[in-house]
Amino acid sequence: MNNKLADKIWTIVFYIISGLVVLLLFSLLSIILYRGLSSLNLTFLTTGAKFGEAGGGIAPQLFNSFYMLFIALIISIPLGVGAGIYLAEYAKDGVFINIVRLCIETMASLPSIVVGLFGLLIFVNLTGLGFTLLSGALAITIINLPSLTRVSENAIRDAGRHVKEASLGIGATRFQTIWKVILPAAMPQILTGVILAAGRIFGEAAALLYTSGMSAPPLDFSLSNLFTVNSPFSLLRPAETLAVYIWKLNSEGMVVDATKIANGASAVLVIMVLLFNLSARLIGNKIYKSYSGK
Residue 129 is a binding residue for another protein (CB under 8 A):
no
Nearer Cβ to another protein (24/254): 24
Rounded distance between C-alpha atoms, residue 281 and residue 289, angstroms:
12
Residue 45 is a binding residue for another protein (CB under 8 A):
no
Q: Give the binding range for another protein (CB under 8 A) out of 53-61, 161-169, 227-235, 257-265.
A: 257-265
Residue 263 is a binding residue for another protein (CB under 8 A):
yes
Residue 175 is a binding residue for another protein (CB under 8 A):
yes
Judged by CB under 8 A, which of 127, 250, 285, 290 binds another protein?
Answer: 250
Give 57: exposed, middle or buried? Use CB within 10 Å, 0-12, 13-18, 19+.
buried
* Closest distance of CB 224 from another protein, Å: 34
Total binding residues for another protein by CB under 8 A? Answer: 88
Contact positions with another protein (CB under 8 A) in 201-230: 202-206, 209-210, 214
Contact positions with another protein (CB under 8 A) in 61-120: 79-80, 82-83, 85-87, 89-91, 96, 99-100, 103-107, 109-115, 117-118, 120
Residue 176 is a binding residue for another protein (CB under 8 A):
yes
Judged by CB under 8 A, which of 179, 221, 288, 291 binds another protein?
Answer: 179
Judged by CB under 8 A, which of 274, 285, 290, 291 binds another protein?
Answer: 274
* Closest distance of CB 256 from another protein, Å: 17
Contact positions with another protein (CB under 8 A) in 17-36: 17-18, 21-22, 24-25, 28-29, 31-32, 35
Judged by CB under 8 A, which of 168, 187, 247, 287 binds another protein?
Answer: 247
Residue 37 is a binding residue for another protein (CB under 8 A):
no
Number of other residues whose CB lies within 10 A of the CB of residue 1 = 5
3-state secondary structure the chain: CHHHHHHHHHHHHHHHHHHHHHHHHHHHHHHHHHHHHCCCCHHHHHCCCCCCCCCCCCHHHHHHHHHHHHHHHHHHHHHHHHHHHHHHHHCCCCHHHHHHHHHHHHHHCCCHHHHHHHHHHHHHHHCCCCCCHHHHHHHHHHHHHHHHHHHHHHHHHHHHHHHHHHHHHCCCCHHHHHHHHHHHHHHHHHHHHHHHHHHHHHHCCCCCCCCCCCCCCCCCCCHHHCCCCCCCCCCCCCCCCHHHHHHHHHHCCCCCCHHHHHHHHHHHHHHHHHHHHHHHHHHHHHHHHHHHCC
* Closest distance of CB 90 from another protein, Å: 5
Residue 277 is a binding residue for another protein (CB under 8 A):
yes
Amino acid at 230: N
Rounded distance between C-alpha atoms, residue 136 and residue 13, angstroms:
45
Nearer Cβ to another protein (19/218): 19
Residue 257 is a binding residue for another protein (CB under 8 A):
no
Judged by CB under 8 A, which of 68, 72, 137, 145 binds another protein?
Answer: 145
